[in-house]
Structure 1
Amino acid sequence: MRDIFVTLLVLAGLPFALQRPVIGGLMWVWISVMNPHTQGWGFATTFPFAQLIAGVTILSLLKSREKNTLPMTPVTVTLIAFVIWMNITTLFAIIPNAAWGQWNKVMKIMLMTFAVMMVIRKREHVRHLVWVLVISLGYYGVKGGIFTVRSGGNQRVWGPLGTFIGDNNALALSLIMTIPLMYYLMQELPKRWMRQLMLISMGLCALAALGSYSRGGVLAIVAMLVFMWKKSRHKVVGAALLVLLAPLAVLFMPEQWSARMDTIAEYQSDGSAMGRINAWHMAFNLARDRFFGGGFSMYEPVTFAMYAPDPSGVHAAHSIYFQVLGEHGFIGLALYLMLGIMTWRYAAWIVRHAGGHADLQWATSLAAMMQASLIGFAVGGAFLSLLYWDVPYYMMVAIMATRTLVQQRLAASPAPVSPIRHRGAPVGSTVESPQGRSARPEVK
């Protein structure tokens, strides 16, 4: 039944995607992030939905009369440079067959990232993109949160098999990144019951992240909460809520969960942690020896025998930073860090320049919440091999499009309206006075 439902949903959307490229781009984000076909048990689990949607989306872009050009911003140029560099490093890969197999997957992700970048142009497109990300990841958060409550936290929560977030640690990080986006959308919901439902969903996502038993996830959520607290205008109230709710969440989890979290401070005696450190040493030594790095999928016994302190401790990178360093060298690491820094600065620019403009409240709130998600990814990603996970790239697209919209709005009318504080509004947000509302048309 699930297989038929997903198939009908995709087939029903394809004619609309053929007419409007943005629908195809949003369908691609949904199928690649949520992977709904993995929730079935029959033919849908292996059906090439992603390739079908990608083909229709590209065809729609080619035939569309809309102006869907690639926005040539510094972020776009850096991403193009990163993609070119990955192609170059693949030519010098230590294990060519495995490298070209992974290259095929990564280049498809990057191609569709550029396609999504071309179609996300309006405010409604950005909002729809955020909703697709929240629904795609929030589904597993709500489901996992309910499972955690039912099991009393005695069983781990896992993501969908065969996907980027199938691992419990990756699922935890994805849910942590989703919570700020849920908070942003909650502010825009018109009905009280909708906001309450979103708040419950946020709580279930947090429980699912804890129920994953991910130590890196705990560090990521702490970093994200600290950032959100520092940016909050109500630090005393926020601190009081954290002091009240955090112990309750921890106390709900069983003793075995606490025992696992205690190993964070005792990593020297943890085989998994020491295996990661051994892989990090290997990646650093390899990058020093090989200008182009080792290429895709080079975490094999031969590379550990050549560069690892412990040649027998073959381990995946388990770090976005050491993964890019080992696979693409110091140049690749520099380009990847530049992408992250520029995306962060774009979001900071939005918060700084959109503040005080009531009709740009949505942009200020979205940029601040995106920053919170990126903080979670920067910290949690230090312990996970999620270099090619597409969600951070889609967030980058949303921030780029939002900055362009803010620039257009400020160029049209740079003088800020007189703001008034709105009860319960997100960090740095304001709403417009009735006099200003008629003078400032909403940016679409």
Structure 2
Amino acid sequence: MRDIFFVGFLIYAIYFTFKRPYIGVAAWIWIALTAPSQWAFGFSQSLRLNLTIVLVTALAYMFYRDKPKFVFTKLHFWVFAFWFWMLISSIFSLRIDDAYTWEKMIEFTKVVALFLFITMTVRRTHEVDTLIWAMVLSISAYAGMEALKFLISGGGHRIVGRAGIIIDRNDLAVAINMCIPFVVYLWAKTEHKMLKLGLLGLLLLNVLAIIGTYSRGGFIGLCVLAIAFWLKSQRKILFLILALILLPIGYGHAPEEWKERQQTVETAATEDGSFIGRLWAWKIATLIALDNPMTGGGFKATTDPVLWATYAPDTPYFGPIETPPIPPELIPKAAHNIYFQVMASAGFVGLFLFCCMLLSSLLQSLRNRIGSHSLKKGLNLESAIVLSLVGYGITGLNVSLAYFDLLYAIIGVIAVVGIQKKQAETAPSGWAGRQNQRW
């Protein structure tokens, strides 16, 4: 049954992609984040759904008559510069497995291609909203299903990612945090009562899903989002009273294992083996970058057994925090931090480009909001984007998601909104007015 559904979805998506290429981009996002082939059990597992929809989207764009004019922005510069430096880093990779390095480089190239196609095909507000729905119906919908299992099992079900890049529970928690602002945006914009109620239920289930991942970083990110939403709320006193009443009740009914895990935040540096493993990975990432400041060690450098064994003896007294010696039999660990991940992979130059890309995206989002009081819906979208980026930047301290599809899709949306706003400002007044109505 699932195989029939996925094949039917593919045929449906292909048909409408040739009519409107942005629909292909939305399907691209959904497939990349959902990994539907992992859900099937039959013949559809052999179908390369993502590759098919990418090729169809590219072909449809080539023959589409009303394609928007391509505009090169600052975000294009930073994304392409970071991609180029990852290419240079891959050429000079220190990993023993060159095939793995180029496999990851190809994957990142596909992610950058997604960003590029978003900026080439999307302009109008309903097109942007279609992409937002694709994000929500991938990450948030899966989180909602897992939250229901967690609720029905009385907290016994452990929530983890389904497949692909977000299979780790910490990665999934970050992705959910990034999508929660978009669920709120769609809820605020939707007028259909049943759909609005469904989005509200999905929002609550997403909050529960983060708790169900047992991710401390995810929970911290959720708290940051909650504070941000509270600061933007016009009913601060009411929500504060509700929080003071409901939070103790919710904490009292939380699973004991979850409580114990959250309480280890205070003693993580000395007693938590998981956090100590992260410290080891961060130290090795720094040592790799210090020895190779320009290009780093290549994709996932800290997981390379030779590099790990080379720098492991130097870790105990390196840096401000003393750590135990790394056991020789320990399997190399991922960086578990987007900044250390990039620093180890592409050196300090790569880290600089990555941070500039994130900062430029955040600043562009803030600029898109300034002076756009008449574009109420656009403001709501930009507020959601800012919260999503802030959530990524904070919770990214705990995960290795520097090359995450969702991040670059969001950056693509930021570029599109910026392009639309600039065109509206420079166009004749009548044209700008019509565009404002669209937004």
Q: Is the 8 A contact 2:150 2:159 kept in 1?
A: yes
- 1:20 Cα deviation (Å)? 2.6
Structure 2: give runs of 5+ residues left out of the alignment: 316-324
Structure 2 CA distance for partners of 1:153 and 1:6, relative to 1, 3 Å: same
Distance 2:73 2:213 in 1: 38
Query: Which whole-Å deviations, capped at 9, do the CAs of 1:32-86 have from their partners, x for residues lacking one?
Result: 1122232222232342111111111111222222334543111111111111111
1:91 aligns with 2:91: yes
Q: Is the 8 A contact 1:207 1:249 kept in 2?
A: no
Distance 1:41 1:250 in 2: 39
Q: Is the 8 A contact 2:300 2:334 kept in 1?
A: no
Query: Which whole-Å deviations, capped at 9, do the CAs of 1:165-194 have from their partners, x for residues lacking one?
Result: 211111122112221111111111113332
Q: Is the 8 A contact 1:213 1:260 kept in 2?
A: yes
- 1:118 Cα deviation (Å)? 1.0
- 1:294 Cα deviation (Å)? 0.2
Question: Which residue in the other structure is 1:363 paired with?
Answer: 378
Secondary structure at the aligned position of 1:327 is classed as: helix
Q: Is the 8 A contact 1:220 1:375 kept in 2?
A: no
Q: Kindly provide the amino acid, as one letter, of the partner of residue 54 in structure 2.
A: A
Structure 2 CA distance for partners of 1:60 and 1:132, relative to 1, 3 Å: same
1:377 aligned to which of 370, 392, 403? 392
Distance 1:154 1:381 in 2: 27
Question: Which residue in the other structure is 2:225 paired with?
Answer: 224
Higher relative contact order (CA 8 A, sep 6+): 2
Query: Which whole-Å deviations, capped at 9, do the CAs of 1:313-336 have from their partners, x for residues lacking one?
Result: 521111111100000011111111
Question: Which residue in the other structure is 2:416 paired with?
Answer: 401
Question: Which residue in the other structure is 1:13 paired with?
Answer: 13
Spell out the pairing of 1:22-33 with structure 2 (5 A cutoff). 22-33=22-33
Question: Which residue in the other structure is 1:418 paired with?
Answer: none
Give the TM-score taking structure 1 as reference length.
0.89
Distance 1:221 1:70 in 2: 37
Q: Kindly provide the amino acid, as one letter, of the partner of residue 212 in structure 1.
A: T
Spell out the pairing of 1:416-431 with structure 2 (5 A cutoff). none
Spell out the pairing of 1:182-331 with structure 2 (5 A cutoff). 182-267=183-268, 268-290=270-292, 291-298=294-301, 299-308=303-312, 309=315, 310=325, 312=328, 313=330, 314-331=332-349
Q: Is the 8 A contact 1:154 1:253 kept in 2?
A: no
Q: Is the 8 A contact 1:186 1:198 kept in 2?
A: yes
Question: Which residue in the other structure is 1:431 paired with?
Answer: none
Query: How many equivalent pairs are there?
Result: 418
Question: Which residue in the other structure is 2:132 paired with?
Answer: 130
Structure 1: give runs of 5+ residues left out of the alignment: 415-437
Structure 2 CA distance for partners of 1:250 and 1:223, relative to 1, 3 Å: same
Runs of 4+ in structure 1 off by over 6 angstroms are none
- 1:375 Cα deviation (Å)? 1.7
Distance 1:149 1:330 in 2: 44
Q: Is the 8 A contact 2:289 2:296 kept in 1?
A: yes
Q: Kindly provide the amino acid, as one letter, of the partner of residue 57 in structure 2.
A: T
- 1:349 Cα deviation (Å)? 1.4
Distance 2:253 2:177 in 1: 18
Q: Kindly provide the amino acid, as one letter, of the partner of residue 6 in structure 2.
A: V
Q: Is the 8 A contact 2:118 2:413 kept in 1?
A: no
Moved more, 291-300 or 66-75: 66-75
Distance 2:356 2:123 in 1: 23
- 1:10 Cα deviation (Å)? 0.6
Q: Kindly provide the amino acid, as one letter, of the partner of residue 374 in structure 1.
A: L
- 1:407 Cα deviation (Å)? 3.1
Q: Is the 8 A contact 1:141 1:205 kept in 2?
A: yes
Q: Is the 8 A contact 1:319 1:382 kept in 2?
A: yes
Question: Which residue in the other structure is 2:120 paired with?
Answer: 118
Spell out the pairing of 1:333-352 with structure 2 (5 A cutoff). 333-352=351-370
Give the TM-score taking structure 2 as reference length.
0.90
Spell out the pairing of 1:33-182 with structure 2 (5 A cutoff). 33-95=33-95, 96-161=98-163, 163-182=164-183
Structure 2 CA distance for partners of 1:344 and 1:213, relative to 1, 3 Å: same
Distance 1:119 1:97 in 2: 33
Secondary structure at the aligned position of 1:59 is classed as: helix
Question: Which residue in the other structure is 2:438 paired with?
Answer: 443
Secondary structure at the aligned position of 1:293 is classed as: coil
Structure 2 CA distance for partners of 1:58 and 1:262, relative to 1, 3 Å: same
Structure 2 CA distance for partners of 1:16 and 1:123, relative to 1, 3 Å: same
Q: Kindly provide the amino acid, as one letter, of the partner of residue 423 in structure 2.
A: Q
- 1:145 Cα deviation (Å)? 1.4
Query: Which whole-Å deviations, capped at 9, do the CAs of 1:114-139 have from their partners, x for residues lacking one?
Result: 12221111111111111111111121
